[in-house]
A and B are shown apart, each in its own frame.
Chain A
Amino acid sequence: MTRHPIPSSDIDAAGLRALQLALLVLGDETAAVVALRDTLRVMATKYALDIKETASPLFQRLLLRQVRRARWRQRLNALLPDLLAAIVPPRIETMAPGTLETLQLEHGDGRPAWQAQASGGRLVQESLRLLPARQRTAFWLLHVESLPLRQAAQALARTRRGVRRDGARAVAMLTAILALKGCPVAGMAPEAVARDAAMALKNLRPGLASAWATARHDPAAPARHNAAVTWRRLALGHPLGTRLSLLATLTAALLLGLSFAWPRADQAQTRADVQLLAGDVPLSVLLDPRFDEAAND
């Protein structure tokens, strides 16, 4: 089977989508660029994957993992300020409306459709931020990346049923928010709403071009294939790979702990005890309180 070269524009489109997802979760462009750059580096050095493979579900899986780690780092960094804020609350609490409340779409004749407006893209983006992480990623992979259900489930290491359910919930929530904002989505099929939302998000991507250029700058050369890379890719590619690896590690730890905790009688002491019990010296002599006195004489 011949492999056709992947056009650079496809790689850029995949990279921009990845950056948009990272930005959606992390809410910070610098952190999103770092997460994407880390993904490309890990992809090349640990899994021997080229940048051309940014469209594969494996890339999605690595990206989600790096984004999750970046999110944890953000939470850790915010831990101390949050604790301080909880101990010493601000004197004046600002009740400024959020971005979602202030976003306004232009309606009426002659106005572009909501999904063609810049504020439409931001509305979808802010709505997705409100969703639980599972629903958001399910929506993203199914409707923005347009992955088949099987590949989306593989990328998320979840069941197809669960991914389908979360994707449907995300679309339902999105439909409700869009309807509240006056978008003509009532009565539309969920697939059509999801398609329009994905289109609205696409309009925001040109603004991320320079950030993507920074993220893909000087990608590491892919590592050579070896046994370790093969095993890593196998674990990454299989939906249960990570869980099975975790299970294997836990089992190994369990067996190791078991080998330490198992009551192993000291062989030398047991041998000495048997000789003591089978010897010609009665126990009454060995336990006699006058033993020391007799032995010292």
Chain B
Amino acid sequence: MTKVLLVLSLCVAAALAAAQPASPDWGELSAHQQRVLAPVSGEWNRFAPAHKARLLAMVPLYDQLAPAAQQRFTVRLKTWAELTGEQQDLARQHWQRLQALPAAQRAGVLAKLQSAPTASP
């Protein structure tokens, strides 16, 4: 009985250990992934596993972008990766609100906010 319990405990421990999300280091990424995620190469190894998974999921979508969009993506990626979860949520909400606005109103909002510099990133 003791042995059975020991084996069960080991299995549960192994299951818990294996259930931890994979967290690949920078060196374990493919060359293509490294090229797309190059802006965050310096910080990559200290990112949380879930954060790494989100960034890795962006790589195939990046390939479908136009070259100009890819360039914008690369420029903003480092800033985006350093934002807190709350800041990212706020940016998503604002972006969705902008998408929902009529084109003229959207252009007006952008003009108003870009006219004066702010302290925000």
Contact = CB atoms under 8 A, between A and B. Distances in A.
> What is the interface of chain B mostly: helix, strand, loop, or mixed?
helix
Contact of A287 (B14, B62, B101, B121): B121
Contact of A254 (B15, B54, B58): B15
A237 to B, nearest CB: 20
Contact of A261 (B19, B62, B113): B19
A289 B114 CA distance: 12
A288 interface: yes
Given A264-B53, A277-B77, 20 more contacts: A254-B15, A254-B18, A262-B21, A263-B21, A265-B54, A270-B58, A278-B70, A279-B69, A282-B76, A282-B114, A283-B121, A286-B91, A286-B94, A287-B87, A287-B121, A290-B113, A291-B94, A291-B109, A295-B98, A297-B109
Contacts of B18: 254, 258
Interface in B51-99: 52-54, 56-58, 61-62, 65, 69-70, 72-73, 76-77, 79-80, 83, 87-88, 90-92, 94-98
Contacts of A265: 53-54, 56-57
23 contacts: A253-B15, A254-B11, A254-B15, A261-B20, A262-B21, A262-B22, A263-B53, A272-B95, A274-B62, A276-B91, A277-B80, A283-B76, A283-B79, A286-B90, A287-B121, A288-B118, A289-B120, A290-B113, A294-B109, A294-B113, A295-B97, A297-B109, A297-B112
Given A250-B11, A274-B62, A291-B113, A286 B95 contact: yes
Contacts of B103: none
B110 interface: yes
Contacts of A277: 58, 72-73, 76-77, 80
Contact of A276 (B95, B97, B112, B114): B95
Contact of B92 (A272, A278, A280, A285): A272
Contact of B112 (A271, A273, A294): A294
Contact of A273 (B14, B58, B72, B108): B58
A264 B116 CA distance: 39
A9 interface: no
Interface of A: 250, 253-254, 257-258, 261-265, 267, 269-274, 276-291, 294-295, 297
A290 B113 CA distance: 7
Contacts of A270: 54, 57-58, 61
B57 A267 contact: yes
A295 B14 CA distance: 52
Contact of B19 (A257, A291, A294): A257
A281 B88 CA distance: 14
B28 to A, nearest CB: 15
Nearest first, the 6 A-B pairs at minimum CB distance are: A278-B69, A265-B57, A263-B53, A261-B19, A286-B91, A263-B21
Contacts of A295: 94, 97-98, 101, 109
B50 interface: yes
